[in-house]
Structure 1
Amino acid sequence: MSEPILSQEEINALLASLAEDEAEEEVSTGSGHSAVSMLPTGIQRYDFLRPDKFSKDQLRTLQMMHDSFSRSLQTALAGLMRLPVQVEVLGVGEMMYQEFIDELSNPSVLNVVGLEPLGGSLILEINPNLAFIMLDRLLGGPGLPVNKARPLTDIEQTLMQRVTDRALRALEEAWRPVVEIRASLQRMEMNPQFVQIVPPTDMAVVISLRVRMKEDAGRLNLCIPYAVLEPVASKLKAQVWFASADKDDGGDSSSLIRQRLEGMRLTLTVELGAADVTMRDLLDLQVGDVIQLNTVQGAPLPIRIGSRKKFLGVPGRVGRRLAVQVLDAIREDD
């Protein structure tokens, strides 16, 4: 008969070890004390599968940076969509790259973005529900969601690049207090599994934002691998960000506001005139009837921007299109 693999003494040692493990689990779950407290002083447990790459201060700084990004993006999207837009940061955290990919819907709108001079790429992901709301608005609609997501057509991808471009400009502005970057769109994908910018187990920071347009809302996510942030990790400190942000606000805030406003589209109308009519006359109106307005032929007409009268002008024609020539500005006290 062959000798046993383990002696009785070794078996007893293994059983004692298992008993100690069970006791540690009871301490951590039953008494409310963490099992980490059972370790010798100065020693902490470390999960090699999920290493923490970022300190709490670095994550707080990234939160502040992308709070600024959300405000810039909100202004940019409001001008592009021509309606009120709200953008807010929902959270900043770290996870393995593959975990981020697995959480995305398929199809989705994934923009692979290059960052210079940092090197590497990040992902700007736009949830399909939000993407189709934006597309409907860009195509002249009210901004309605779709019942079922699908991959974007070539034309729709071209339109979404306008959204991506404004997001990247807002990202450059938000990062400026820490590092000057140039963000450029490398490609757009619909299937998350086709986007592998780093190995699956690499850690990344994920910034999740909510974009609300009227009653509808959708998610926008930024996935930034640790390898991209590593060159500037030492600058991801709250005091560095505040010092640089205050310096930038000293001379550039007015120009940045002007730059954002210049991209907004406004409706300009020329008021030909008005008339007071009775309800009976209104009900009796027929094709061919003439309504006398309260304006004189050849007199300057008010030009409105939105609901406000801002200029006086005369109507005319340029080529085959109607036009108006601005003659004078209307002061607020006029």
Structure 2
Amino acid sequence: MSDPEMGGVDGEDVHAVWESMLAAEADKTLNQSEIDQLLQFEEGEGRQPRSVIDQIVNSSFVNYDRLPMLDVIFDRLVRMMSSSFRNLTSGNVEVTGVVPAAVRFGDFLSSIPLPSLITVVKAEEWDSTLLLTVDSELIYSVVDILLGGRRSEPAPIDGRPYTVIERALAERIIKMVLRDLGTAFAPLTDVHFTAERIETNPQFATVTRSNNAAIAVTFNAQLDGRGGSISLLVPYAALEPVRNVLLQQFMGEKFGRDSMWENHLKSELRRTNVDLSAVLAQTTVDLADILAWKPGTQLTLDVRADARATLNCGHVAMFQGEMGQRNGRVAIRIESDLGTQDEVIHGLLQR
């Protein structure tokens, strides 16, 4: 029989149609190339093909610890670089810094605009290396200004190799920035940055693995209408010796200690009046005997007449001395210090 709604197709034909549709759905399993195209992981020319799992693992997202002191250090570096460039060019200079970002080392190298001078910097005290990059725009701008081209248009970037004069002036800028960078770190730690070598090819400036996390910050300089940028890349492994210092919330933090308050407290404690009591002897008496005391009762102390007395501050014994008379009054000459001053000060602070 045929169903009018099916257009004259009998039951066997309907069953065959459903089987063919289910088979077509089963054949829609994506292969590796289709998954790569779906996630926009296309293979470029000259690159080795990588699987989707490798692409996800090596993605550009980097999870990193927050280091508040780095923002303070980079702010100091911006002010110092502005002053240094102003002294170098004798003109109006404005240096601004971009918010530090966490990147992978390989991604930073691939994003360097060419041609640029890439300096491999050695941090002596940290026993580690970092990168400092100066782009061509800044190099050409400084060369034009220092050689008298203050009002000319910025030179076009043609990709040619740097001349001897341009490279010498660029090295002067690099040394100046490294000196300012060491000064910016000075309030936290003593470190000296020196330039090991200068490269123009990013492949020769590799100082760590491409997947390792690093902190990248860019400083933009405006020199009399011209501009350029300096980029600094610091691997996280390089900051490990000073990581505890960089985790501070503000400069000079000492985990709750305040030297000014300590000095003020010491000066006030020295002017504080305390009561001293001279103890000749001590004995133990039952409470029943104390209740039976009457006027004229004698209390025998197991101590000799020439025994030394003890000076107590509260319940803390501080000094021992010999009793005597001076100007008609009972006096004690201190002969030994029991060394309990710290215990007395601790008791005063707890009140």
What is the TM-score normalised by the length of structure 2?
0.53
1:145 counterpart residue number: 154
Which of 78, 87, 97 does residue 89 from structure 1 map onto?
97
1:192 partnered with 2:212: no
Deviations 1:60-92 (A, max 9, x none): 321221110010011011101111111111120
Deviations 1:209-255 (A, max 9, x none): 111112222221100111111111111124352549xxxxxxxxxxx
Q: Distance in 2 between matches of 1:144 and 1:175?
A: 37
Please list, as runs of the form range in 1=range in 2, the aligned pairs for 1:84-163 lying within 5 A after superposition.
Answer: 84-142=92-150, 144-148=153-157, 149-163=159-173
- Percent of paired sites with the same residue: 26
Displacement of 1:130 in angstroms is 1.2
1:207 partnered with 2:204: no
Partner SS, residue 75 of structure 1 = helix
1:78 counterpart residue number: 86
2:43 counterpart residue number: none
Are the aligned partners of 2:140 and 2:166 in contact in 1 as well (CA < 8 Å)? no
Partner SS, residue 181 of structure 1 = coil
1:225 partnered with 2:228: no
Q: Distance in 2 between matches of 1:177 and 1:186?
A: 25
Displacement of 1:158 in angstroms is 1.5
Q: Distance in 1 between matches of 2:153 and 2:69?
A: 35
Counterpart residue identity of residue 164, structure 1: I
Please list, as runs of the form range in 1=range in 2, the aligned pairs for 1:168-317 lying within 5 A after superposition.
Answer: 168-239=178-249, 241-243=251-253
- Residues 107 and 76 (structure 1 numbering): CA distance in 2 closer, same or farther, change over 3 Å? same
Displacement of 1:160 in angstroms is 1.3
Are the aligned partners of 2:139 and 2:166 in contact in 1 as well (CA < 8 Å)? no
**Bigger radius of gyration, 1 or 2?**
2
What is the TM-score normalised by the length of structure 1?
0.55
Consecutive unaligned residues of structure 2, counting only runs of 5 or more, are 1-25, 30-55, 255-351
Please list, as runs of the form range in 1=range in 2, the aligned pairs for 1:1-12 lying within 5 A after superposition.
Answer: none
More deviation in 70-79 or 105-114? Answer: 105-114
Deviations 1:287-333 (A, max 9, x none): xxxxxxxxxxxxxxxxxxxxxxxxxxxxxxxxxxxxxxxxxxxxxxx
Q: Distance in 2 between matches of 1:115 and 1:198?
A: 14
Give the superposed CA RMSD: 2.4
Q: Distance in 2 between matches of 1:63 and 1:112?
A: 22
Q: Distance in 2 between matches of 1:114 and 1:172?
A: 12
Partner SS, residue 188 of structure 1 = strand
Consecutive unaligned residues of structure 1, counting only runs of 5 or more, are 1-14, 19-46, 245-334
Partner SS, residue 100 of structure 2 = strand
Are the aligned partners of 2:119 and 2:205 in contact in 1 as well (CA < 8 Å)? no
Partner SS, residue 110 of structure 1 = strand
Q: Distance in 1 between matches of 2:113 and 2:62?
A: 26
Counterpart residue identity of residue 220, structure 2: R
Are the aligned partners of 1:108 and 1:127 in contact in 2 as well (CA < 8 Å)? yes
Q: Distance in 2 between matches of 1:95 and 1:193?
A: 17
